[in-house]
Amino acid sequence: MARKVTKAIFPVAGLGTRFLPATKSVPKEIMTLVDRPLVQYAIDEARAAGITEFIFVTSRGKSALEDYFDHNQILEQTLKEKGKDDLLETLNATNMESGAIAYIRQHKALGLGHAVWCARRLIGDEPFAVMLPDDVIAGEKPCLQQMIEAYEETGGNMVATMEVPPEKTSSYGVLDVGDNIGTSVRARGMVEKPKPEEAPSNLAVIGRYILRPSVLYNLNQNKLGSGGEIQLTDAIAEDIRNGVPVFGYKFDGQRFDCGSKAGFLQATVAFALARDDLREDLQKYLHDVVATGQAAQ
């Protein structure tokens, strides 16, 4: 039986340049998707999967992210005095207990693999999850929970996968696919951002991983890969070469790329339409906009 996964790494050191000027002073991870910061969706998904230790790899200028998970005693007291119990309950769900969350600085932007490697001393010899908050996944059962249930049967390393148009493979890590095992595929190899004509498949890796500590050992070599960065994909591919099984998990759900403006807007509409308190007004507005073609002036 695979060891229980209780730790998750959240790489959030990026500058969020695609969302400037908003990210000049506000970390992208706490920009709001409807009424919750982007990172809260990842935290809620991790909690549902049984994660109890949360490791954030940050950089300079992320203090607002750290403050978000702290208790705001003045606000809590004000809500309590005014009898706004529903809002107080919502607020309490964002708090993290003392010792549950840790922050590690990534001082140089050397890639996702380097960000994960920065957390190595807090992982030790345990399996761990990696979650990229830019990838928001809507599903009846949270994606990471699906993966952990599958991982308990397979062990090894596991990555979330989805099919992408062949012309989009150069934006992802891509699996060289072996055997199909139910909702998973056994990977023969992984390639980071291959040209479409060189991609081994159109099965792309998206931002959910369950990894063995051997991946951290591979990252110790600090090998530069695609884009002159230390790629997590390369470290996982090395495990495959060393005989460690790697599985691509075909999750049940809809993934939104909130690292792009278009993806963020699509997610905002989709999550708002899923809300009973917002659906009717938003549907009417969208219908009117489509019918008239009217945009903001």
Greater model confidence, 174 or 67: 174
Half-sphere exposure of 182 (CA within 13 A, CB side): 12
Cα(138)–Cα(142) distance, rounded to whole angstroms? Answer: 7
pLDDT digits (tens, 9 = 90+) for 128-162: 999 999 999 998 999 999 999 999 988 899 999 99
Cα(290)–Cα(297) distance, rounded to whole angstroms? Answer: 16
State residue 61's pLDDT score: 76
Cα(293)–Cα(180) distance, rounded to whole angstroms? Answer: 46
The average pLDDT across 31-36 equals: 90
Contact 57, 13 (CB under 8 A): yes
Give the pLDDT band of residue 2 (cuts 50, 70, 90): low
Greater model confidence, 270 or 189: 270
Phi first, then psi: what are they for 50, rounded to 5°?
Answer: 95, 10
pLDDT digits (tens, 9 = 90+) for 53-84: 999 998 887 788 888 887 778 888 888 888 88
Contact 277, 249 (CB under 8 A): no
The average pLDDT across 79-102 equals: 81
Greater model confidence, 248 or 19: 248
Half-sphere exposure of 61 (CA within 13 A, CB side): 13
State residue 204's pLDDT score: 92
The per-residue pLDDT of the chain, averaged, comes to 88
Structural domains present in the chain:
7-259 (3.90.550.10), 260-297 (no CATH)
pLDDT digits (tens, 9 = 90+) for 252-264: 999 999 999 999 9
pTM: 0.89
